[in-house]
Structure 1
């Protein structure tokens, strides 16, 4: 009879010890945010199709050149901003998703008109070859600045008329 309580105690301790040793497996939920890695940290950088054959050490340079080229080709100074002689810099942060599409994640500008044009320019980017971390397609974040500056030879007709 004295042996029974000792056996029960050992069994209880064994059950308790085993229950703490188990690792809880939690399945990711659909509402969790995907992992986002900054451009300069990702192992395999996202790239434009034109940068596909470029060596790894030149990937950033090619990415930046292609991004600048896209902005230069598609850049249109908003007529309303021209009329009001609005200038300024727009900071825009975007994510290159695992499928290569682009999502705007942040924007900041002194003027809403310029901000909207910057968003349009980034949303019009072509589909990228997605970045990868440990061989797995991963969302990558990137920050970019667009400078809206009136041309040196700009002559606002509204101002000229009112000066006469």
Structure 2
């Protein structure tokens, strides 16, 4: 008896309204000359002199355009292609992956790092507070530590110290899914124990 397959629902992106096109001047595309016999050329097709072209107020451009504003419009050749920057969607961290993220050197090095860098808060020591703070954080695609949150609190001073130590960790070896680095949630207990 197989469990029912999960169907991922994809969000439909709303349509973004594009602004109306700017006013354009009429322009004619420069066409390459064609060699013909004199008898085949009509008076209208004859080459115009530079003076005639200047007086005609016709823009020679990259395309034939029927304008909609001759006085204030722009020449189509002045436009540049505008490419909208793609919206980078932040990848949601995975709960579990094929290859979980690891601290450089493994779990023993991780425990050693915490032991060497954890400073027991004086107030917690004086009040005899001991126990564990459970933290959850994201090991990003690059191995950096992000979004450190307290799942189970012990004492505000101990919580703050545990977060500080986790944030000071070197980059981890990121988790992998289908051979690609992916962000992964990681839960870590930090133990405060009085000697």
**TM-score of Structure 1 vs Structure 2, range by shorter chain:** 0.5 to 0.7
Please give the alpha-carbon distance, in whole angstroms, between the structure 1 residues aligned to 2:143 and 2:114.
Answer: 18
Residue 94 (structure 1) shift: 1.0
Unpaired stretches in structure 1, ≥5 consecutive residues: 1-23, 51-61, 152-164
Output the TM-score relative to the length of structure 2: 0.51
Runs (4+) of structure 1 exceeding 6 A deviation are none
Alignment deviations for residues 79-106 of structure 1 (CA, whole Å, 9 cap, x no partner): 1222222223211001101111102342
Residues 94 and 141 of structure 1 are in contact (CA less than 8 Å); yes or no, is this contact kept in structure 2? yes
- Structure with greater contact order relative to length (CA < 8 Å, sep ≥ 6): 1
User: How many residues get paired?
Assistant: 112
Could you tell me which residue of structure 2 aligns to residue 97 of structure 1?
140
Higher radius of gyration, 1 or 2: 2
1:109 and 2:153 matched: yes
Could you tell me which residue of structure 2 aligns to residue 136 of structure 1?
180
Unpaired stretches in structure 2, ≥5 consecutive residues: 1-10, 14-85
1:123 and 2:157 matched: no
Could you tell me which residue of structure 2 aligns to residue 80 of structure 1?
123
Residues 90 and 118 of structure 1 are in contact (CA less than 8 Å); yes or no, is this contact kept in structure 2? yes
Residue of 82, 99, 102 corresponding to 1:44:
99
Larger helix share, 1 or 2: 1
Output the TM-score relative to the length of structure 1: 0.59
Alignment deviations for residues 98-134 of structure 1 (CA, whole Å, 9 cap, x no partner): 1111023420313101100110111111111211211
